[in-house]
Structure 1
Amino acid sequence: MEKNSILPVNKQWIFSTLASFLGCSILIFSLSHVCDRQTLSALQDLSTSSATSRVESSRQVDGVAEDESLQKVTKRKCDIFDGKWVYDTNTYPLYKASQCPFLSDQVNCRRNGRPDFDYERWRWEPLECEIPRFNGTEMLERLRGKRVIIVGDSINRNQWESLACLLYSVISPSRAEVKVGSGVHKFFRAKDYNCSVEFYWSPFLVQLDDTPVKGSRVLKLDTMAASARQWRRADIMVFNTGHWWVHRGKLQTWDFLQYKSKLMKDLEVDAAFEMGMKTWAHWIDHNINPIKTTVFFRSISPEHKLGNQWCHNQTQLIMDESYIELFPRSITGIVEKTIQKMRTPVKYLNITRLSQYRKDAHPTVYTSKQGKLLTDEQRKQPQLYGDCSHWCLPGLPDTWNLLLYNLLVLDNSRKIF
């Protein structure tokens, strides 16, 4: 009887133990599953947060966060044209004039005898972010298979010489093709990268017919320059105009203005300029594919010809903000208004203010006139022969091209390169 009474108790104990074990197992499994879900959820949140951070980081440098040369760009929104000049003897100049044999006498100030060189050593530093140092090899790689055109007056030729020298100085001379004999078209090509940088002389962007008959020079406000047909199929375009529109007296290059077959002798500069800009804008909107081509318009390059801004014998920058804006503001306003109304996006290379500080950077008497270096006698007359319009190279236009490079890479809407 004892055995029979004990047996049911043992079975009950065994069953209770098994039930407890199963209950604990189920509880542990449930807790584990909950933990797994919580862990997974946490990981997903972390991953989402990380992805968001990467997106934000990428946005901070406008889509080029993985490009090591651009890691120094620390702000998502930054006006790279708002900044200060910093004297830099470690990284400037970006090249030597001797590295660029095709550099013209007009802007090769060191070769022409200018005794001071500090103008070569100033670096532009935006206030709200850092920008990378210009890297010619990297830019050539990014320009591989592409065509750049720079169109406008002699200041844009100044910029073309700068960009061509920046690129030429980092490759073997035997791997470059350069044609500079013509004053209306200049050409640089890096053979190993199959990329080219061209300059087209077109100071008005619209057509100036200069016939041999005296008094028949006609500026056609509704007709694009003849070279415009050669601008097509470029990947990057840089335009400027402005200075030649305000020339008067002997410097004025037209006798009549023409618009819709009507000849006009007298027309306000602003009205004529606005007509010409509309013709250019219409041509861009109807001939350029913005998916393939990026268009820039460079702002007015300041001159330093009057008073305490006269450039002769100047080795210091303008250090205050109270500079005199000599160029008509209305012309600048027409450019900006025209660009804003265009269907094609046009990037504004706004170099006016940062260049205004640099009265030290002009060739003055260390230049050429009509293809010949100034004589000693001419150098003694800087009021007549000093050049306070163009810029020494290496020098200020190298900064323009540095900023052009940054605008190309740090594009908000798409990656151009």
Structure 2
Amino acid sequence: MVLPGLQARRWLSTAATARRRHRTEDTPSPEPPGRRAALYVHWPYCEKRCSYCNFNKYIARGADEAAVRDCLVTEARTLLRLSGVRRVDSVFFGGGTPSLASPHTVAAVLEAVAQAAHLPADTEVTLEANPTSAPGPKLAAFGTAGINRLSIGLQSLDGTELRLLGRTHSARDALRTLAEARHLFPGRVSVDLMLGLPQQKVGPWLRQLQELLSCCDDHLSLYQLTLERGTTLFAQVQQGVLPAPDPELAAEMYQEGRTVLREAGFRQYEVSNFARNGALSTHNWTYWQCGQYLGIGPGAHGRFAPQGPGSHAREARIQTLEPDNWMKEVMLFGHGTRKCTSLGNLELLEEVLAMGLRTDVGVTHQHWQQFEPQMTLWDVFGASKEVKELLEQNLLLLDHRGLRCSWDGLAVLDSLLLTLLPQLQEAWQQRGPPHVPGG
């Protein structure tokens, strides 16, 4: 049996060797975009299902972690080979509750990735953690295994709200785990806070946010509750057991919250994400910039252009949802990809627009041209009367930098896309479909 610490050292040694080799090349050059990607690893198990969650997760009773680990390693190797990816820019262990896994599993996956591709020693490697599944000693062991950033599912500092959400931790548990995490991973701890819950009020929620600001690190995410069909909360609201969340109150919480965070020195670099001291999530930034990413594990999603004859278009991939079936497919075929869809040129541009506008940078002219070299942002949006109205209302900006939302526009992005996406589709139809690089 290989100890997690030894595996982590092997990964770090492999990364350091690759880095030294790169430095000694006569004419070093960065990997082309098609050869770089982020990697998402889905751990599907949880202690229990939270009342609001409809993610692909299963209660961890009798799960064979060694078998899951072997399949994660196998699938990572296979997809790295199929994608032709030569450098992994970030790794994110999500779920489910990946902090229920052993550090040995994390180390094994990272070692496999480092053997199959260039994984720099300073790569951002994030683990999602719940307070009750991540005591201090285990967090330290994850650090030894290669984790260098934590995302803590805190969600609330109110006991009644935590019980409503079906969380297994208390506010005290959350704050203790946060303090331990900041000690082990200073400057690299993110926390989630939810808003828009049934019966939630603006004032008490803002006091939670202020309390969190007194003890949080440099990254914070604000997520509005979405009632998902099939969840306990959805059923309770439908049956009248709980009142439906008030969308106007939720909007007020969001506006007040982002103002508080701005005054505290946080940059709202994405609709739901705030950072100070440069602590942006490298991994999530790849999503918003429509970079390539590989998804391994049950139900994981990926976007990449496979290598090989005739393989030029980027593909949207979804792995098999149910863990046992996924493992059977991985053992048979090397991966458990259940659905694979080639993205058309217009579909890819729609993603570039919708994802890029989620950020404060928006879609720069240079970034747009990487995906559409013939039709500029001015060509698509410059002559539109509808877009001009949004510019005059100071919800959008279109200038020498590119297209982006204003501070006010970022809060109503969904409504803006109702104008922008049809405008893109119309412009595309008028000029005919050119070739667009998929990777």
Higher relative contact order (CA 8 A, sep 6+): 1
Q: TM-score, normalised by structure 1?
A: 0.32
Q: TM-score, normalised by structure 2?
A: 0.31
